[in-house]
Structure 1
Amino acid sequence: MAKPNKKQPNKTVDIYCAKCKTKLFKYRKGGKGALVKCFKERIVEDYTVTPCHCPNCKLEFARDTLVRGTPAYKMIGGKVTMK
């Protein structure tokens, strides 16, 4: 399987909890599709206290997994929004 691109994307997006609108990550996203996964190496700023849980409402928004051999968070549909 192919690894994610070594060159980081230029565009950063802010990822928020869909329930309480708390800021979760600042993330270097490639492409213009929906947010399905977040590679840990592309997270610029992490505002969470415990991984995959919102610091405000304690909602689980992702699952810790390996995608193409690289550590990533697999997003649960409808739990996060991005701007």
Structure 2
Amino acid sequence: MAKPNSKAPTKSVDIFCTNCQQQLFRYKKGGKGALIKCFKERISKDFTVIEGVCPECKTVFARDTLVRGTPALKVIGGKVRVK
């Protein structure tokens, strides 16, 4: 399978926890679809202490995985909000 585009998109979005509204990270998102996975190399600013867990309410919002051979976080549906 093909690797993700090496040139990061210019559009940055803020990712928030839906439970407590805590900001989780800033992400360089490509396209206009829903947020399903976050490639780790595209996370520009990370506010989490433990990967995939909200620092405020301790809700697990993503799982660590490999997508097309690249480390990524697979987002659990309904756990995060994109702004």
TM bucket (normalised to shorter chain) is: over 0.9
- 1:41 CA displacement: 0.1
Name the CA distance, whole Å, in 2 between partners of 1:7 and 1:49. Answer: 27
State the identity as a percent: 67
After superposition, residues 67-82 of structure 1 pair within 5 angstroms as 67-82=67-82
After the TM superposition, which parts of structure 1 deviate over 6 Å for at least 4 consecutive aligned residues? none
- 1:12 CA displacement: 0.1
- 1:65 CA displacement: 0.2
- 1:77 CA displacement: 0.2
- 1:51 CA displacement: 0.5
After superposition, residues 1-83 of structure 1 pair within 5 angstroms as 1-83=1-83
Aligned residues: 83
Secondary structure of the equivalent of 1:24? strand
AA paired with 2:42?
A: R
Q: Which runs of 5+ in 1 are unaligned?
A: none
AA paired with 2:11?
A: K
Q: Using structure 2 for the length normalisation, give the TM-score.
A: 0.99
Q: Using structure 1 for the length normalisation, give the TM-score.
A: 0.99
AA paired with 2:66?
A: L
- 1:9 CA displacement: 0.1
